[in-house]
Structure 1
Amino acid sequence: MTFPITRNRRLRRSAALRSMVREHTLQVEDFIYPIFVTHGEGVREEIPSMPGVYHLSLDQLKLEIQEVVELGIKSVLIFGVPAYKDAQGSSAYDDEEIVQQAIAAIKQWAPELVVIADTCLCQFTDHGHCGVVHVEEATGIAQIDNDQSLQLLVKTAVSQARAGADIIAPSNMMDGFVAAIRQGLDEAGFADIAIMSYSVKYASAFYGPFRDAAHSTPQFGDRKTYQMDPANSLEALREADSDVAEGADFLMVKPALAYLDIVRTLKEQFDLPLVAYNVSAEYSMVKAAAANGWINEQAVVLETLLGMKRAGASLIITYHAKDAAKWLKDSEG
């Protein structure tokens, strides 16, 4: 028997000892902060299902970016609510639309901030799907046209890069989207723009508040034919392997909290930077519980984010980023 020679509690006796042997840490550089931009002036409209998260017009966005920079957050992820929607999602690749305007403005206000552009069509289509929809004449069933969708996604990525995006983050889950966007960016003169692929994106129930925020709820059907089945883990390896072969610079797992096993699996199998997306419902559940006094919000958020780092995430997309940055700063004295 090793007891009492081995006493694992020896290294837990004090805060200083625990700090010395701590295996994983959170730092503000780990966070990517998602922002929702919209048209108008003076718009700072709180999203009902996501307390503390807002639709922001460009004038309000400037104040938000100033706060982000002051907190030491290094990167933002931009989503947009466009002025118009159509079946092709043409506002996604309109150089004068709100996402492109926001990207250009941020790069002017804070050139050092890394601006990531979410690249999808769901926020911009009138049907809410992530690609072009065709209805089969024989059956009347609506199908997402994978290859035609790729053409529009490439146009979107190039438009976002032209606006000044540092990283393109395609979230559409069309087959071959990384290869198509990589080729499109290279041919347009943007060979240095990185791709942060939503490699492993599940058809999850945790996206509800985001769909309220982005006005992107599908008007019919669901996204289960292109997003992954939550029951599958080996499929995640196939998806990530495809993206690596096609030229992705980052891999992502979305959602994060219910899929930490997938985060760990990808960390063990691939050597690219790995991003975990702490999605909207994960955020909103914590906010709701904290508002009712059921939990210590700060402790729960920091423990959750640390768990994502421990599972293998290099970076975390989180709506908690500003709060977490403040808490970490306060803990440093």
Structure 2
Amino acid sequence: MKAVKHRYVSLAIFIAVFIIVIGFLQSGILRFVFFPSVPANSMKVTLQMPQGTSYQKTHEYALRIEQAALQVNEEYRKQWGKDVIAALEVEAKADNEARIMAELVSSTERDVTSVALANRWRQAIGELPGVKALSVDASAGFSGLPVNIELQSDDLDQLRLAADEIKLELLTFDGVFDVRDTFDAGGPEVDIRITREGQALGLGQAELARQVRQAFFGAEIQRLQRGRHEVRVYVRFPKEQRESLETLRSMWVQLPDGSKVPFDVVGTIVESTGVSTIKRINRHRVVNVQADVDKTRTSSSAVVNTIEQEVMEQVLARHPAVKYRLSGEAEEQEENTNSLLIGTLVMLILVYAALAIPLKSYAQPLIIMR
């Protein structure tokens, strides 16, 4: 009844407390983490090398990561007198990919969380030159990546440059680690293009490519029957010559009139790095810039908001062909927040109706709910 009698004072107190709480959140004194890290009973390291990496190199790095886990276990054994890692498993998904999993002893038998162990494991691994992506995960459940910025463009060069610039900015944040992108570069490629002189001589792009293919891959000249099998006979350059670009530059190309000219007259060679995987959404090429966040030091929402407000405008100004959208935890947080807002609104309406009916008043339920 006192709240009803002094309703304006009650309203003022409510507004003042609300403003103070919002101020705590905005100033960072009270941090808000939508998806907190829940420690699991296992840890996992995912290693990805560039396309074309030998399995020996990937295996070498996987063993180094395994040794780092054993080193961490030895450190805690000396400190606590017991193991923290129960089992280790190394799994190779491909020549350039590996996964190292560590099963931990029960949480009741150790005095350190899996998240703290994962941070120490990451430090023990150190720098691995030439690695495309390396991530350490020790959280239970799946809520999407803490930082996941999806870039879209039809211009591959601008897409690559924009991703590199965002990665450099993410590396400046305290508590942000394992910064990577999904750009899957392939091996070295040679792009052969016909010159204007070649076109003037009547040579086409397809004919030039066909002759180069026949010289290096081979041209079928006949087929021989050996019992029940048919053997195809190809003619091409010797193996030693096929391994050198100088052979391509010095080869002779036949023109439509039967004459021959050097390759340099009718064609050019452009060396580049290919793309082994192309991801498209709505017919646009897509590259995701991803990172993990130490939620004891910062929050993913704070990092994403800073990137969106201070970095993305400058990046998009330098690369106008690139568009972006937020994915991962930011996308899920927005979806869940919208659902919570709708649920809260429905709940308030139901509570108001439940109070208004017995009180037979429109105003009193609002005072009570306030």
- Specify if TM > 0.5: no
Shorter-chain TM range is: under 0.3
Higher relative contact order (CA 8 A, sep 6+): 2
TM-score (norm 1): 0.23
